[in-house]
Amino acid sequence: MIYITGDTHSDFTRFTEDQFSIQTEMTKDDYVIICGDFGGVWTFEEESRREKEVLD
């Protein structure tokens, strides 16, 4: 399945289990496409724990 969403601007709360419960059934064959400003990997000096958690 393919899931499409708009800008996240580093706010990934829409992907919590409460708001995006279908994720528990997703596999590596499913895709989440973020159209627009992702903003998830912009800490240049050092990798933040929050970024690592979100990307995982």
Angle at 36 between CA 48 and CA 39, to 5 degrees: 10
Q: What's the rounded mean pLDDT across residues 27-40? A: 85
pTM above 0.75, yes or no: no
pLDDT at 44 over 60: no
Per the structure block, which two tokens stand in for 40? 């998830």
Cα–Cα dist 13/55, whole Å: 13
Cα–Cα dist 29/9, whole Å: 25
Cα–Cα dist 50/27, whole Å: 23
Q: What's the rounded mean pLDDT across residues 23-39? A: 88
